[in-house]
């Protein structure tokens, strides 16, 4: 059996927990709870002939929990960096988190997920900003925890990156 520890990080209320819940259990919760500490879930993905079990660590991303965050990051093979498309601040926080991750665990595969694409009209993050990130080597995916759009693809893509 092939297992890969994957962390989900991002600012408060960007929809990490809902992304996991939608994908893993298929049940969307409108009134999602603030993640405290960590919650572990499984996601089985097939890459070519191989079956990979992603062990998802849904982490709380606030700075005050940084020591705890550091401990949880140990042994991570890759991560999903999540931001809320409707809040520009979460993009800046994501950039800061990415820098910290590089510092903690080195260059590991990651995907940048711009969540809430079902609310595209309310987005504060425009294409230029995304192009700028892409130029820095970030791989960006648009997801919606509510409709499930892009969620499966995100897990699939991250698994592929980790197996390269």
Partner 1 sequence: MPDDPIYRLPLDPQEEVSSGEGGSFEQLRHLILAPEQQDLARLRERVEDPGLRTGDISAVLPEAIELRREVGGEEALGKALLPTVESALRESVRKNPTTLADALFPVMGPAIRRSILQTLRSFFDSFNEAMDHSFSLRGLQWRVESLRTGRPFSEIVLLHSLVFRVEQVFLIHKKTGLPLAHAVAPAVAMQDASLVSGMLSAIQDFVHDSFHSAQGQILEKINVGEMEVWVEDGPYAILACVIRGIPPPDYRQRMAEALEHIHRNFAEAMERFEGETGPFAGANDELSQCLEFRYKEKAGEKPKPYLVAVVIAVGLALAGWMGYRGWQNYKWAEFIETLRAQPGLVVTDFERIRGHYVIRGLRDPLAADPTELLKAAGLPLDAAEQRWGGYYALDDAIVQKRATALLRPPAGVKLTVADGVLRPEGEASATWAAALRSKALLLPGIRALDTSQLTDTDAAEFVRLQKVVEGAIIKFAVGSSVLNVTEAVKLEQLAPQIKLLLEKGRLLGENATLDVVGHSDSSGVETTNGPLSRSRAERVAAQLLRDDVVKSELQSRGVAASEPLRKEENEEGRQYNRSVTFRVRVAQSAAGAPSGTRPASPLDTPAAGNR
Binding site for partner 1 (CB under 8 A): 1-5, 37-38, 40-42, 52-53, 55, 57, 67-68, 71-72, 74-77
CB of 52 to partner 1, least distance (A): 8
Residue nearer to partner 1 on the CB measure, 20 or 133: 20
CB of 28 to partner 1, least distance (A): 21
Q: How far is Cα 26 from Cα 37, in angstroms, rounded to an integer? A: 23
Residue nearer to partner 1 on the CB measure, 4 or 21: 4
Residue nearer to partner 1 on the CB measure, 37 or 132: 37
Contact residues for 73 (Cβ-Cβ < 8 A; gap 6+): 7, 59, 101, 104, 105
CB of 56 to partner 1, least distance (A): 9
Residue nearer to partner 1 on the CB measure, 61 or 150: 61
Q: How far is Cα 20 from Cα 8, in angstroms, rounded to an integer? A: 9
**3-state SS assignment for residue 89:** helix
CB of 96 to partner 1, least distance (A): 21
How many CA within 13 A on the CB side of residue 160? 10
**3-state SS assignment for residue 133:** helix
């Amino acid at each position: 059996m092939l297992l890969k520890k994957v962390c989900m990080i991002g600012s408060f209320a960007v929809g990490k927990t809902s992304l996991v819940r939608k994908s893993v259990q298929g049940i969307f919760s409108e009134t999602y709870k603030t993640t405290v500490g960590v919650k572990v879930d499984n996601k089985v993905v097939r890459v070519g002939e191989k079956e990979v079990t992603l062990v998802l660590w849904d982490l709380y991303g606030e700075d005050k929990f940084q020591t705890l965050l550091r401990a949880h990051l140990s042994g991570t093979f890759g991560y999903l960096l999540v931001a809320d498309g409707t809040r520009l601040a979460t993009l800046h926080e994501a950039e800061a988190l990415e820098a910290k991750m590089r510092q903690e665990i080195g260059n590991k595969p990651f995907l940048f997920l711009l969540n809430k694409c079902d609310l595209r009209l309310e987005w504060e993050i425009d294409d230029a900003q995304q192009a700028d990130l892409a130029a820095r080597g970030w791989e960006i995916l648009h997801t919606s925890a509510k409709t499930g759009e892009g969620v499966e693809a995100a897990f699939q893509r991250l698994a592929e990156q980790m197996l390269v």
